[in-house]
Amino acid sequence: GWPMTVFLTPEGVPFYGGTYFPPEPRYGMPSFRQVLDSVANAYETQREGLEEQGQRLLAHIAQRSQLEAREGELTEEILRRGFDQLMRQFDARWGGFGTSGPKFPQPMILEFALRHARRTGDTRARRLLDTTLTRMAYGGMYDHLGGGFARYSVDEKWLVPHFEKMLYDNGQLVSLYLHAYQLFKTPLYRRIVEESLAYLQREMLDPAGGFFSSQDADSEGEEGKFFVWSQPEIEKVLTAEEARVFIAYHGVSKQGNFEGHNVLWIPVEPATIAANLNLSERQMNETLVRARQKLFEVRAKRIAPATDTKVLTSWNALAIAAFAEASRVLDRAEYRQVAERAAHFILDNMRTDTGRLLRTWKADPGVAKLNGYLEDYAYLIYALTHLYEATFDPTWLEAARELADIMLEEFRDPRGGFFDTGEGHEKLVVRPKDVIDNAIPSGNSMAALALLRLAAFIGGQRYTDEAQRALQLVGDAMGEQPQGFGNWLVALDWWLTPTAELALLGPAEQSEPFVREIFSRFLPNKIVAQASSGEEAEQLATLIPLLESRELLDGQATAYLCQNFACQRPVTAATELAQQIEVMFT
């Protein structure tokens, strides 16, 4: 992160820093050696002044940790203003925000836009989402042979990526495209989900069960070398017809679009390409499937970029949530198994004897280390609530509750919100308290969202109160600067929208029609609980109050749709449940 170089006193107080110092002087910048000499000399001859400078800098940094919850209404007006701000920045041609590069995918902002579209029916939201999600999927930022997204695009077209692939980007983007598929039923979005999850399974899974962190942009000393193609390379691998279709579809040319080579992308709408090729879309797609598989196999023989094989708790939680949700939405049991295995790995291998989370693990030496941060707890609590819905195994909610209680004990700031480091963390010159959503959600925004979801399942006014106080840290700023508060807006949407509570009674196979009906829809503010019988429901009710006093109707699998524990009449047919959902959400 930046600054890349910071000079500290022996007490750990920063007094000077910079983002980049080159090895030799250039472009008016001193070399790193010159900086070292100058700082050493100044520290020797002007130490008192540097220490005073350090204290001033420290006071400035400390201000970021002084945020307090402020009384003020959290209203839908904040959501409306936030979306209106996004529309002012929306690139109507290429999607995303701003009309020049670099462009980042910003999944939290788009997740908020999805919720806005679902809640309000605003046609602007549909246009923003369709344009952005489609253009990102068509762009070179998406790996058209192997699946998964690169970190960002250097241009406004999403054409040339910074080729590094991050677990946290792909975890969030899979969830985003999955939700967009639920809402819009666009086949492209489902394909992106399935290909990206296949990439994560194939290349980013540690044999022990956790997910690796990232893959480098370069191989053999060249950025993107693994991913780019020349036209002759493609023509050598494919048949003449396959090459004709593939080259037209992916915008390949002899001169290339990246340093004499080609980043694969889709520059024109597929229907137009098919017409130009005098093919049906089905014929074109069948040819493309064969061509991509051949080129993928050839690419696999190249020297691949290095993989950062450390396992990070928070980033793994984003992947767990994605796999868990996809298992329900797409009815894929293998996704559930991947999510369960990763969650078991973290809970079994990345906690202390007292249940505190640890931050990082690597196969060599095979032990976890470093105290977990707020984001590790918040992300994992959130993921475990989704894993419960994927499995209906209450142990995941019990684990989430245990972690939530530790999070409140270790990280809670009495002034509202949470510190990024726990009470048991080593002493720092300033205890950080970040609230800005950047490439990943801030620990504070995810803590608010996770506590709201958990409270909806297991009750606990304390969880809801702490989430509200966290939201009051940022208040109106969410609406004024939405790009820095994307996940906060998602949490506020949850806070303001009544939760749909669905209780299912009956054996798993008999409840399956209800499950398919529920998860075929984008219902972001909903929870689903299940028990195989009335007797089991009573046993689980101490953990999940929604299941209290639920019974099978006429001995058949039964669904209860509720809000604030006030339920509509129980139904025994998925079609009846569908009608109730339509009425509630229209």
Q: Residue with structure tokens 């910071």?
A: 6
Taking only the tens place, the pLDDT of each residue in 191-211 is 999 999 999 999 999 999 999
Report the pLDDT value the prediction gives residue 27, as an integer from 0 to 100: 75
Report the pLDDT value the prediction gives residue 67, as an integer from 0 to 100: 79
Instruction: Classify the C-alpha dihedral 50-56-61-66 as positive or negative.
Output: positive
Tokens of 519: 């998860």
Report the pLDDT value the prediction gives residue 66, as an integer from 0 to 100: 76
Report the pLDDT value the prediction gives residue 447, as an integer from 0 to 100: 98
Residue ranges of domains in the chain:
5-65, 227-301, 329-496, 500-585
Report the pLDDT value the prediction gives residue 61, as an integer from 0 to 100: 80
The topology (CATH level 3) of 500-585 is Glutaredoxin (3.40.30)
Report the pLDDT value the prediction gives residue 585, as an integer from 0 to 100: 87
The topology (CATH level 3) of 329-496 is Glycosyltransferase (1.50.10)
Alpha-carbon distance 304 to 217, whole Å?
10
Q: Which residues contact 150 (CB under 8 A, 6 or more apart)?
A: 140, 141, 142, 143, 161, 162, 163, 164, 165, 217
Report the pLDDT value the prediction gives residue 63, as an integer from 0 to 100: 79
Ranges in the chain, pLDDT < 70: 1-3
Report the pLDDT value the prediction gives residue 465, as an integer from 0 to 100: 97
Q: Which residues contact 241 (CB under 8 A, 6 or more apart)?
A: 287
Alpha-carbon distance 171 to 214, whole Å?
12
- Under 8 Å between Cβ of 263 and 157: no
CA distances in angstroms from 300 to 141, 203, 262, 297, 304, listed in the order given: 19, 11, 17, 5, 8
Report the pLDDT value the prediction gives residue 2, as an integer from 0 to 100: 57
- Under 8 Å between Cβ of 213 and 315: yes
CA distances in angstroms from 241 to 199, 234, 247, 585, listed in the order given: 27, 12, 10, 49
Taking only the tens place, the pLDDT of each residue in 117-160 is 999 999 999 999 999 999 999 999 999 999 999 999 999 999 99
